A and B are shown apart, each in its own frame.
Chain A
Amino acid sequence: MSKARKSVLCWVALSPFLIIVLFPYLTMLSTALKQKDEIFTFHRSWLPREFYLGNFVELFVDRNFGRALVNSLTISVGATLLSLAVAIPAAYALTRMRVPGNSALTNYLLITQMISPIVLIIGLFRMFAYFGLINSLMSVIIAHSAFFMAFAVWMLRSYFATIPKDLEEAAWIDGAGRFSAFVRIFLPLCLPGVVVTAIFTFVNSWNEYAMSLTLLRDVSQQTAPVQIAFLTGTLYQIEWHLIMAATLIASVPVAIVFASIQRYLIGGMSLGGVK
């Protein structure tokens, strides 16, 4: 069978699934560009009447959606920095040194990675309430870091293990201390791995729903996914044109970033995740 014929067959076989995957995106795009009266009518069509950007303006000017995006961004950046700050030293120790109780620690991290925060949500809520952190973005930053850190350690470990030890040892012989060898030799070499891990943590944090919903009760502190879901809860006519514009803004940039790193993710998963 020629490659061309095989390609056609493969695409045909995949097409039902691909259509279902793309259907929501087309829906988002088509609805976000429509005016209100085009949605709530009997004669609807996929194509908007005109290329209408008013929904985005309304979203930012009247609905203050920018605030939700800033909240999401603050939390995601904070959670990424905090989890990397604790995961990098831990992953370094686990790959380069003899940590007492290494395997117990590894299993512990693996299990925490499987615990869904939602099962512990009452406990989490009470703990952050005790510290007066409900409605504070800090609570979600800390919670996200704790739950996404295990995965970060896991991925970093598999990257760190690929870097030859000789380079650092050479630096030690040349009189560099452990720390300066780590910063000057080791970190630059594993920068790609660190970046991929950071992006993945960012995306996870950006998309998280249950913890943000529970720990941030105030509308002004809501993250983008929570606010979007919140907008569908109104008793009046749901403003789908605005909601779809919001999902488009909150999801497309993240999807593009994610698509650009997925190739590394496949490598990292098969190295670290499965083993």
Chain B
Amino acid sequence: MSAIDSSTPIRTATLRRSGAAQSNSLFALILVAPCLLLSVTVIGYPIFDVIRMSVFDVSRIGIVREFAGFGNFIKTFSDPVFVQACWQTLVWTVAVVGGTMLVSIPIALILNEDFYGRTIARTIVLLPWAISLAMTAVVWRYVVNGDFGTLNMTLSALGLPFDGYPWLADARMAFILEILVGILVSVPFTVTILLGGLTSIPETLYEASAIDGASPLHSLRYITMPLLWPFMQIAIVLNVIYVFNSFPIIWIMTNGGPSNRTDILITYIYKQAFAFGKLGNAAAGSVVMFAMLLVFAVIYLYLTKARGAQDDV
């Protein structure tokens, strides 16, 4: 992959024309400026504002009053619903990411094989990626609807006793279903990354090991898995980032209910801000989430950097 790392040719080209380098880099900055400006305004300022609100007393309508120190954080952390939402976020993230990896690895391995209709199979596997999470959630909410949903209709037709079973009324079952939908929508992205990894493994390795008498299972265990591991790491970290603050599935399917038993941090924060008007609490919760996101992002940078270094050797 280092072949597409373009920095080296540019550097030599710039050195060749070092006289123009000064004005060139000014021009380069001008080209980058609009992009940076948009990003710093729309992403940077809200970051600052949320951090500020988290340490100030904020009124219902958003007027920032006196400095509150860690007051908002203490209030938030002592809310039993927040603590519950933290645990549920952990369960949600681990279950969705773990499940996604378990489902995606075999799918990627199969799609990497040469078989009839592979393009069609691949298109279907990637299909959930194309659709709005909000609409996926709406459709699944209907599918599992106890009285009118197509799931119970199909199960009854197969002779199973699920007629009228209210899937989303029981918090535990609702959460399991949401996790399954979460897995379904994360698989396409993960399979894409893993397929990229699989195509990067040179065919000669398999040929050599076959000559040495290795069974396909051995090749899978000792060639494919170790070489795929860096891609799995990246897929895991990116999925953790996306899943941990995924909002639409839970918001639309159960709205965190029944009785907050399917709330995760992000739905908790959203309710604090836009339903209860507790902006200070919501900001404190957002800062906690933002800090966790940054940790994941740093892990991701570290992983990709380490990979890049390996590639260059």
Contacts and interface: CB of A to CB of B under 8 A. Distances in A.
Contacts of A158: 4
Contact of B121 (A11, A24, A105, A265): A11
Interface of B: 1, 4-7, 9-11, 13-14, 21, 24-25, 27-29, 31-32, 34-36, 38-39, 41-43, 45-50, 53, 62, 103, 106-107, 110-111, 113-118, 121-143, 145, 148, 150, 153-154, 157, 184, 187, 192-193, 195-197, 199-200, 231, 234, 238, 241-242, 245-248, 252, 266, 270, 273-274, 279, 282-283, 286, 289-290, 293-294, 296-297, 300-301, 304, 307-308
State the 8 A-B residue pairs at the shortest beta-carbon distance, nearest first: A123-B46, A270-B196, A146-B42, A258-B130, A207-B132, A90-B35, A93-B31, A209-B134
A181 to B, nearest CB: 14
Interface of A: 3-4, 6-7, 10-11, 13-14, 17-18, 20-28, 30-31, 39-40, 44-46, 82, 85-87, 89-90, 92-100, 102, 105, 107-112, 114-116, 118-127, 129, 142-143, 145-147, 149-150, 153, 158, 161-162, 165, 203, 206-210, 214, 225-226, 228-229, 232, 240, 243-244, 247, 250-251, 254-255, 257-259, 262, 265-266, 269-271, 273-275
B32 A6 contact: no
A189 B122 CA distance: 29
Contacts of B10: 95-98
B40 to A, nearest CB: 9
Chain B, interface SS category: helix
Nearest to A146: B42
A44 B121 contact: no
Given A109-B39, A118-B266, A275 B308 contact: yes
A27 to B, nearest CB: 4
A124 B46 contact: yes
Contact of A14 (B38, B125, B138, B157): B125
Contacts of A89: 31-32, 34-35
A162 B286 CA distance: 40
A203 B297 contact: no
A18 B121 contact: yes
A98 B28 contact: yes
A74 to B, nearest CB: 17
B62 A161 contact: no
Contact of A27 (B6, B36, B115, B142): B142
26 contacts: A10-B110, A18-B125, A23-B143, A24-B136, A90-B34, A98-B10, A98-B25, A105-B36, A114-B293, A116-B241, A120-B50, A120-B290, A121-B270, A121-B273, A122-B49, A122-B50, A147-B43, A203-B130, A208-B132, A240-B142, A247-B135, A250-B135, A259-B123, A270-B1, A274-B231, A275-B5
Contacts of A254: 130-131
B130 A225 contact: no
A8 to B, nearest CB: 9
A28 B279 CA distance: 38
A258 B35 contact: no
Contact of B46 (A25, A96, A98, A127): A127
A274 B273 contact: no
A229 B28 contact: no
B125 A228 contact: no
